[in-house]
């Protein structure tokens, strides 16, 4: 799976993390899925201490060796996440707002995708999203991760810690 395929599926946005940290106005207020992308063929620099916030006194940082072990070569997809459910009220805008605030060191309960914040270039990453008004975002997220695994020898995206 590639960012080109995400575009073909209807993903929108393709906005940098730095821009989203300034304003969420471009993000739809609908449930859906989102992806974090890194457009560089160079291996990243991993930070020993990232910018992620400590939630419930839990340190979001992991050893650099763990980040290196989770790294997946030859892909620009770093993380796939979901916002909302068939019955929940979380939206792409509210979930991505939590994610960006967590990445700025705030004590926000967005534990998923935390490895992103230990990348030295995290603010230059790109975020895209797909509203899923007629589908459960959890199902769409699972399918996207499974498609990624099929294309990458059973590896999940770098910052996805579960299937």
pLDDT tens-place string over residues 22-65 = 999 999 999 999 999 999 989 999 999 999 998 888 899 999 99
Residue 111's pLDDT is 79
CA–CA gap between residue 134 and residue 24 (Å, rounded): 23
Q: Where are the domains of the chain?
A: 3-151
Q: pTM for the whole thing?
A: 0.95
Sort strands 77-83 and 126-131 into parallel, antiparallel or unpaired.
unpaired
Q: What is the pLDDT of residues 64-92, one digit of tens each?
A: 999 999 999 999 999 999 999 878 889 99
Segment 80-109 mean pLDDT: 91
Residue ranges in the chain assigned as alpha helix (H): 3-9, 17-22, 64-70, 92-103, 137-151
């Amino acid at each position: 799976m590639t960012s080109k395929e995400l575009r073909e599926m209807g993903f929108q946005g393709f906005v940098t993390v730095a821009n989203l940290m300034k304003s969420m106005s471009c993000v739809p207020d609908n449930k859906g899925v989102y992806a974090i992308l890194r457009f560089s063929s160079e291996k990243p620099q991993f930070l020993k201490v990232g910018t992620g916030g400590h939630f419930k006194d839990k340190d979001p940082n992991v050893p650099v060796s763990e980040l290196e072990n989770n790294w997946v070569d030859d892909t620009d997809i770093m993380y796939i996440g979901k916002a909302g459910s068939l019955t929940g009220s979380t939206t792409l805008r509210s979930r991505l707002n939590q994610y960006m605030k967590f990445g700025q060191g705030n004590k926000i309960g967005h534990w998923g995708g935390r490895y992103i914040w230990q990348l030295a270039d995290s603010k230059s990453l790109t975020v895209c999203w797909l509203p899923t008004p007629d589908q459960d975002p959890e199902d769409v997220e699972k399918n996207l991760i499974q498609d990624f695994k099929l294309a990458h020898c059973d590896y999940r995206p770098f910052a996805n810690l579960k299937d």
